[in-house]
Homo-oligomer: A and B are copies of this chain.
Amino acid sequence: MADLRYAVTGIGNAIVDVLSHADDDFLSTHSLAKGHMTLIDAATAERLYGDMGPGVESSGGSAANTLAGIAGLGIEASFIGKVHADDLGRIFAHDIRAMGVDFPTAAANDGPPTALCLILVTPDAQRTMNTYLGACVELGPEDVDEAVIAASAVTYLEGYLWDPPRAKEAFLKAVRVAHENGRKVSLSLSDGFCVERHRDEFKDLVVNHVDILFANEQEIMALYQVDEFDAALQAVRGHCEVAALTRSERGSVIVAGDEVHVIDAEPVAQLVDSTGAGDLYAAGFLAGMAQDRNLHDCGRMGSIAAAEVVSHLGARPEADLKSLIAERLD
């Protein structure tokens, strides 16, 4: 078996976020699905951007945010995702490397520009995301280095990868290589609409391939088509080794065989922008696993990291997560 080089390698869409404040009227005028991620084409992106207020740009992408958080906790991490060789692509590459994440994927010189997510943050701190996938559609299995996956204790995948067609092949290749090498596979279900789009395939993944699952309440209920959180919890129980289910201000529930942990949400002084909450929960959780912590403490680390990211605009941690964890947990 290859030596372990990374605790976690993530594969995801490489996206730069454009964050802007908006009110509920703006969402309804533009028929935007509040709290969700909607895929948009280049023309829609241009139109929506033109109508939006002034923005702040910040590197994003669900799995990329998670990996940035993991590296911020001092854990060896790498990320696979496709940008174009343009200004935004350079910003994305700089930011993830500056967090300490290895980012080996070559930027595309042809094809569409770097992906953008136009995010409207409403006064209730909810985020509504509109993603133009751009260069992400260029990600394919050739970008997945088998040696890297073989050398990663966990390969972490975002469900959003199911949207760009060739990324799915990259995803499945990574799953195969990870398991052939006795490594773990972790998946985030990403978004309720995303689960609706790909339910059957996601269900097959969860039942047959995923060791560590992350999902919020809405996503796990959409997966099993049930109306009660508890029914979804019982369903996922036998399907994955570990499932960490997040419930916003109600904290999270972790199930692992017979073990169940109910973790409180970490108090947040001022809820500013929920973008990245789930991503950073996964970051804290996986970092905890890499440090061989018990599941309760993994969950607490997830809550602490999530609480940091919702206290400011943007989906990447601004504070020193290591000190925060040391202060609140250790």
Contact = CB atoms under 8 A, between A and B. Distances in A.
B316 A54 contact: yes
A89 B57 CA distance: 13
Q: Helix, strand, loop or mixed for chain A's interface? A: mixed
A82 to B, nearest CB: 17
B57 A99 contact: no
Interface stretch (A90-98, A211-219, A235-243, A277-285): A90-98
A91 B55 contact: yes
A267 interface: no
Interface string A294-330: 0000000000000000001110101000000000000
Given A87-B88, A88-B87, A57 B58 contact: yes
A20 B316 CA distance: 12
A94 B314 contact: no
Nearest to A84: B87
B58 A95 contact: no
A147 interface: no
A313 B57 CA distance: 12
Contacts of A58: 56-57
Nearest to A272: B312
A142 interface: no
A87 B96 CA distance: 19
A96 B54 CA distance: 7
7 contacts: A53-B99, A54-B68, A54-B95, A54-B96, A54-B98, A56-B57, A87-B113
Given A54-B68, A54-B95, A55-B98, 14 more contacts: A21-B318, A49-B94, A54-B94, A54-B96, A54-B99, A54-B316, A55-B91, A56-B56, A56-B57, A56-B314, A57-B57, A57-B91, A86-B86, A312-B313
10 A-B pairs with least C-beta separation = A87-B87, A57-B57, A54-B95, A54-B98, A53-B98, A56-B58, A87-B88, A54-B99, A86-B87, A56-B56
